[in-house]
């Protein structure tokens, strides 16, 4: 089975690019961020203060089921304990909760187990923060996507507006820096480029330009 790992901070374009690349290559796309988001949402719904009650949060996450399914018409659906939470996991509150819950080691161990299981039986393109360093250290191709802070915040802001969510650019920028710091400073499997990853900076690129660049880069190596 072939494994492609795409890591990087939020707003670098990982998930939109990964989704389209996987489709083009005929690989299964695994959005690991969506799994942390579902776990974060579950904690919020249960009134858990993730930072103060990490054991309680981990106990909860050990009991939930998270499924990611693909419908031909609608695309990816994220199912938490049987409920479709696809839209709900994309709010700013859930972004923060996902980052906080992802810093808990027991939560990561549980979700990484599921992610590795998914990669056993298919050619996969998996995106996240620790795929090349921890989840799939033997991935055939590892890419680390970056973009400037301003560009990443602008993309995230545009995405939220497009979904009809009310937000201020300054809040999006602040939340993004909070997540960057949280995700890269946690003790266990932090956001970090693997030594053998290819660094790609998407600042100033259109989506199509980044897509072509990555597709060529992958095809050259497969
Ligand atoms: O990619 P995303 O924005 O949907 O991810 C949400 C949060 O989940 C992110 O802030 C950090 C965490 N995450 C992680 O720790 N490890 C991954 N492999 C994917 C996401």
pLDDT of the chain along its 222 residues, tens only?
A: 999 999 999 999 999 999 999 999 999 999 999 999 999 999 999 999 999 999 999 999 999 999 999 888 888 899 999 999 999 999 999 999 999 999 999 999 999 999 999 999 899 999 999 999 999 999 999 999 999 999 999 999 999 999 898 999 999 999 999 999 999 999 999 999 999 999 999 999 999 999 999 999 999 999
Q: If we measure between CA atoms, which residue out of 146, 176, 147, 51 comes closest to residue 102?
A: 51
Concatenated DSSP letters of 75-143? EEEEEETTEE-TTGGGSHHHHHHHHHHHT-HHHHHHHHHHHHHHHHSS-EEEEESSIIIII-TT-SEEE
* Residues pairing with 31 in the sheet: 127
Find the residues whose C-beta lies inside 6 A of ligand 1: 10, 32-33, 36-37, 98-99, 102, 128-131, 179, 183
pTM above 0.85, yes or no: yes
Q: Measured in angstroms, how far is the CA atom of residue 67 from the centroid of ligand 1? A: 16
Ligand 1 atom having least distance to the Cα of 34: 4
Ligand 1 atom having least distance to the Cα of 115: 18
Give CA–CA dist 119/45, Å, rounded: 30
* Residues pairing with 62 in the sheet: none
Ligand 1 atom having least distance to the Cα of 103: 15
Q: Measured in angstroms, how far is the CA atom of residue 213 from the centroid of ligand 1? A: 24
């Amino acid at each position: 089975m072939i494994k492609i790992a795409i890591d990087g901070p939020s707003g670098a374009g990982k998930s939109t690019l990964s989704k389209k690349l996987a489709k083009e290559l005929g690989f299964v796309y695994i959005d690991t961020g969506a799994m942390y988001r579902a776990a974060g949402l579950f904690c919020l719904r249960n009134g858990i203060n993730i930072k103060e009650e990490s054991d309680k949060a981990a106990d909860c996450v050990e009991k939930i089921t998270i499924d990611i399914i693909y419908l031909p018409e609608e695309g990816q659906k994220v199912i938490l304990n049987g409920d479709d939470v696809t839209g709900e996991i994309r709010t700013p509150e859930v972004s923060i909760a996902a980052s906080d819950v992802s810093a808990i080691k027991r939560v990561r161990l549980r979700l990484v187990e599921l992610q590795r299981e998914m990669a056993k039986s298919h050619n996969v393109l998996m995106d996240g923060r620790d795929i090349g360093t921890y989840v799939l250290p033997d991935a055939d191709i590892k890419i680390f996507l970056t973009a400037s802070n301003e560009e990443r915040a602008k993309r995230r802001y545009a995405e939220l507006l497009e979904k009809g969510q009310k937000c201020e650019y300054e809040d999006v920028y602040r939340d993004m820096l909070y997540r960057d710091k949280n995700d890269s400073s946690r003790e266990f499997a932090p956001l970090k480029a693997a030594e053998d990853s290819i660094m790609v900076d998407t600042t100033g690129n259109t989506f199509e330009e980044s897509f072509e660049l990555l597709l060529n880069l992958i095809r050259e190596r497969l």
